[in-house]
Amino acid sequence: MAWCIEQAEQRTAPIGKAGSTASGAASRPMEQLEDGGRQSGVGGGERWRLKVAGRRELRWRQEKTRLRGGKTKLSSAMQAGAAPTRNEWRPQRIRFRATFHEYTSVVYLFHPPATPKQAILETGLAKALGVYREWAGRLGMGNRAILLNDAGARLITATADVALSSVTLLEQTPELQSLCPNNNGHDDAEELLLIQITRFPCGSFAVSSTTSHLVADGHSVFRFIIDWGKATRGAAIDPVPVNDRMSIVAPRNPPRVEFEHRGVEFVRHGELRTNQMVSKDKVVVHRVHFTLEMLSKLKSHVPVLVGSSQPYTTLQCVVAHLWRCITKARGLSSDQATRLIIPVNGRRRMIHQRVPEEYAGNFVLWAQPTITAGELLGRPLWHTVELVSREVARIDDRYFRSFIDFASSEAVEDEGLLPITALEEAWDASNFVYVSNLKGIPTYDLDFGDGRPFFCTRCYPPMGGYVFIMPTLSRDGSMDVQVCLRSGAMEIFKDCCYSLRQPNAKL
């Protein structure tokens, strides 16, 4: 019998304790997840049931809670536990015009005994939302501002009837995605933050977050989740987030647009259309585990060029290698262009007006090296690495300031320009490769008081050309990469990706 998801009837009774252990349901040790393969399911085709407890509405009023039936919403408290005193609009200036209009999900998995009680998690979440009020607010003014009205975030509690070891964690299966609330990518949820806590009979539990990308980038989201752990442990949230979204992204007076942003961050309607026929093959996900030996071998084929101030990074070498292999697998003609999109965190790029690491909004732009498939595959690996490195370095303080000035001008609306992120569904047909890098983010610093997660991963509906770089369980410097491609191209990609003997040869 095939695996299936079966949504149990919603009920208002609280979920049971997670302490009972099913026979033979011991969680799989951490190191067994690194076997590079698929976790096996339960013998005999056991059905997966995810029972969602009655979704409760928790309103915060003068340090008291009131439980109601219906959807689960957890409103925020202020830092000291007092109720918010007033509503407030927090304009977003220009970031809403360029970032992704979607929800993203991450799931953390914990082994016992790291199973804090539900009430402790809820109290910690309320405290964290008091500091990060945006996550309990609502979008308004045409998605150009956040209303800090403490309307609440959604909190869902659920139980599973199989051990965590029965869930395939290294692939984007329906079972894994069921651990994340409303994980459909372009979600129209009213809430900006959705949390799901799922407990397993083996004593393990999962905590997942689904967050609006219009509120914050990945850097900010992970800081919030880690600070939720601090608040749950009773520790102070320090340093506190910086929420001054107006002055940090304020344009210069007079504005000075020094770079071309049309066709880069903003495009005209229809600009990404292509005559290429998109394969009807389904998009599949393949996990590549780059061991330290593979990374060392890859970097050994990328010499430091004369005049270069520093060697290329491991990330740049891996991204260049993946870009070449994906392009080869897609079978593009030599004159077709391919574009790599890689995020650049502006917090570390600004010089004249520093942006603190604690800034809690969006402050990411994208390096976008573009080249024809013939030149990309016909030249050695080091050429691609140098191209990636040069384009990433170009997104500096001057570029960010130029972008802010342009995006704040009337040209965007007068010319009917759209953010390139609004057309991401056309990226696959346009031969784009998008890289999301979480390796430098301290995802495993989350601790609710009884230990850190043993595994963290993204939950997402696969989209062709997407690449997700994740921290590894071993945290030894190796790298896990999830590559999304059409099924017909995946075998070619695998052959290319694992062939490191002659990375400088033509592909």
The CB density around residue 328, as the number of other CB atoms within 10 Å, is: 20
Q: Assess whether 447 carries a catalytic annotation.
A: yes
Check whether 368 has a pLDDT greater than 60.
yes
* List 213, 219, 261, 301, catalytic entry: 213
Catalytic, 269? Answer no
Cβ burial of 171 (10 Å; 0-12, 13-18, 19+) is middle
pLDDT of residue 386: 94
What does the pLDDT read at residue 483?
95
Other C-beta atoms closer than 10 Å to the C-beta of 382 total 18
High-pLDDT (> 90) share of the chain, %? 43
Q: What is the pLDDT of residues 267-304, one digit of tens each?
A: 887 676 555 566 778 999 999 999 999 999 998 888 87
What is the 3 state secondary structure string of 156-217?
Answer: EEEEECCCHHHCCCCCCCHHHHCCCCCCCCCCCCCCCEEEEEEECCCCCEEEEEEEECCCCC
Q: Which of 161, 396, 397, 447 is catalytic?
A: 447
Domains of the chain plus CATH, in order, are 50-233 (3.30.559.10), 278-497 (3.30.559.10)
Sheet order of strands, 205-212 included: 5-7, 48-52, 154-160, 193-199, 205-212, 103-110, 455-459
Question: How many Cβ atoms are within 10 Å of 184's Cβ, its own excluded?
Answer: 15
pLDDT band at 169 (very low <50, low <70, confident <90, very high): confident
Determine the pLDDT at residue 161.
87
Helix (H) or strand (E) holding 298: helix 292-300
More confident residue, 162 or 500: 162
- Could you tell me if 150 and 134 are in contact, meaning their C-beta atoms sit under 8 angstroms apart? no
Lowest mean pLDDT among 51-60, 363-372, 420-429: 51-60
**Higher-confidence residue: 271 or 103?**
103
pLDDT given for residue 53 in this prediction = 54
Burial readout 440-456 (b: 16 or more C-beta within 10 A, e: otherwise): ebebbebbbeeeebbbb
Gyration radius from the chain CA atoms: 23
Residue 80 has pLDDT above 50, yes or no: no
Structure tokens at 383: 């050429």
The answer to whether residue 101 scores a pLDDT higher than 90 is: no
Average pLDDT, the chain: 77
Long-range contacts of 31-38 (CB under 8 A, 24+ apart): 31/473, 31/474, 33/169, 33/170, 33/454, 33/455, 33/473, 34/289, 34/472, 34/473, 34/474, 36/287, 36/289, 37/170, 38/168, 38/170, 38/171
Contact by Cβ (8 Å): 161, 51: yes
Amino acid at 88: E
pLDDT at 29: 31
What percentage of the chain's residues is helix, strand, coil (to nearest 5)? 25, 25, 50
